[in-house]
Amino acid sequence: MDLKYIQQQVAQRRKQRLLLLCIGVGLTVATLIIMVFYLNQNKITRNDLQLSPVEFGDFAIKVVANGQFKSRNPSLVTVKQEGVVQEILVEQGQYVELGTVLLKLTNDNLLFKRSQLQTQHNNAQLEFELISARLALELVKQETEVARLAGEYEILKAQYSAQKKLAENSIISSLDLMTTQVRLQNLERQHYLAAKTLDSMNTLHKKENILAQSKITDVSNEISALESHIEQLKLLANERGQIQKINAKLGENLSVGMAALELSNSDDLQFVAQVPEREAQRIQPLSQVNIRVNGTWLGGEVERVSPNVDNGFVDVFIRFERAEDLLLRQDLSARVEITTQIIKSTFFTEKRTAKQEHTQQDVWIFDSQREILTKRTIHFGAMSQQKVVITNGVNSGELLVSYEQSKNWGSTAPKLVM
């Protein structure tokens, strides 16, 4: 065996010893790291504990759901006169007062008929004015004739009186006096007939005036009736409320009786909640309800639960107490809490301490006086509103560690450190 071979063997053994030494050191370091990690994992500070206090009192089991305000009986704004939609003055969801013009229609037939009647009215008015002028002229002529005859009669009467005195003194003959007397009688008769004619003309003219005026009145009445029909082309709000739906479009022809718009009154609103079918089975009529809308709570109660299921949800109909300063509208969404049961005088805590409801579970309890953690078996009941009922195994005020934090502790709790 030569010297070179011996040197190689020595060098190889040195390398092996060095390798074993490195492996040993590595294993030792790894063991130390694992031990440190384990020791750190098995320690916890007081502030890191997820603790929930045990409370005592009445526990309300509630169903929480979303829903919307709905009108019980929408008020329909119907068409009174057929027409084409000319203008829509409101939008869906808008609030309106009683009598507000919502929509305007136009009807060419009614407008054309109004134009014809206005022409007839103008013609009747003109005819009345012409008749009145003619009759007035005729009356003036006849009155002039009566006045003339009355004047001539008075003159002739004076002449007759003078002749009569002269005849008494035999200055004129009796024949001349008789002639004057006959003329006076004839003139008196003419005056009488002219006056009678004037009275007849007055009566006749009044009748003609009344007839002409009646034509104007008849046409005016027709125009008024037509204007009433034209006014009905404006669809007005029949109550104060919110526009729920518009069933008309610009340019559309609407027939009589069609519901062009739907109004909902805030006093006629109810709340309809969509509740999962499983939870809806626990809800009964008259169950107490709280609706959260715009930062305000509205109290109420369940009216009825729908027997129908739609995509796994059931409609629950709720009546509620209205708040004077709260403006509600159709389809306004809100969150509702429905109380299905109240458990009197019971223990309860935060939901995070229990794995599931209605189970028996080992729970870690923190003793704040002795600063230690102890394990205890607890019976959990129903869960609701992030709370869970505890049927036995605890006292009020005790602090329970959350399930998620303690589920991997096993039988030994981590060491509490300051």
pLDDT grade, residue 39 (50/70/90)? very low
Residue of higher predicted confidence among 271 and 49: 271
Report pLDDT for 179: 86
Give the separation between CA 343 and CA 40, rounded to whole angstroms: 43
Q: Where are the domains of the chain?
A: 3-41, 83-105+234-262, 108-231
CA-based radius of gyration for the chain: 55
Task: Give the DSSP H or E segment for 260.
Answer: strand 259-264
Give the separation between CA 343 and CA 333, rounded to whole angstroms: 30
Report pLDDT for 418: 63
Backbone angles phi, psi at 151, to 5 degrees: -65, -45
- The answer on pLDDT for 33 being more than 70 is no
CA atoms lying within 13 Å on the CB side of residue 137: 5
Give the separation between CA 123 and CA 366, rounded to whole angstroms: 104
- The answer on pLDDT for 88 being more than 60 is yes
Give the amino acid at 31. T
Say if CB 268 and CB 72 are below 8 A apart: yes
What is the percentage of the chain residues whose pLDDT exceeds 90? 41
Q: Please provide the DSSP assignment of 149-166 as one string.
A: HHHHHHHHHHHHHHHHHH
Report pLDDT for 325: 74
Would you identify the CATH topology of the domain 108-231? Methane Monooxygenase Hydroxylase; Chain G, domain 1 (1.20.58)
Mean pLDDT of 132-156: 87
- The answer on pLDDT for 1 being more than 70 is no
Mean pLDDT score of the chain: 87
Say if CB 300 and CB 272 are below 8 A apart: no
CATH number of 83-105+234-262: 2.40.50.100
Give the separation between CA 250 and CA 86, rounded to whole angstroms: 6
Residue of higher predicted confidence among 210 and 272: 272
Q: Which of 101-110, 140-149, 240-249 has the highest mean pLDDT?
A: 101-110
The long-range contacts involving 407-416, CB below 8 angstroms and separated by at least 24 positions, are 407/355, 409/364, 411/375, 412/42, 413/364, 413/373, 413/374, 413/375, 414/41, 414/42, 414/43, 414/44, 414/373, 415/42, 415/43, 415/44, 416/43, 416/44, 416/45, 416/46, 416/371, 416/372, 416/373
Candidate from 18-27, 197-206, 317-326, 371-380 with smallest mean pLDDT: 18-27
The model's pTM is 0.54
What is the percentage of the chain residues whose pLDDT exceeds 70? 95
Give the separation between CA 212 and CA 215, rounded to whole angstroms: 5
Give the amino acid at 23. I
pLDDT tens readout for residues 281-297: 999 999 999 999 888 89
Q: Helix or strand or coil: residue 328?
A: coil
Give the separation between CA 366 and CA 53, rounded to whole angstroms: 10
Show Cβ contacts of residue 269 under 8 Å, excluding neighbours closer than 6 positions.
69, 70, 71, 72, 328, 330
Give the separation between CA 316 and CA 271, rounded to whole angstroms: 8
pLDDT tens readout for residues 168-208: 777 777 787 788 888 888 988 988 898 898 888 888 888 88
DSSP state of 356: S
Please report, for residues 98, 241, 249, the alpha-carbon distance to residue 237 in angstroms, rounded to integers and kept in the order given: 5, 8, 18
pLDDT tens readout for residues 394-418: 999 999 999 888 888 877 878 777 6
Report pLDDT for 43: 77
Mean pLDDT of 82-91: 93
Cα angle: 349, vertex 352, 355; to 5 degrees: 105
Mean pLDDT of 303-318: 94
Report pLDDT for 66: 95
Report pLDDT for 380: 93
Report pLDDT for 387: 93
Residue of higher predicted confidence among 338 and 167: 338
Q: Match 């003159």 to its residue by tokens.
A: 155
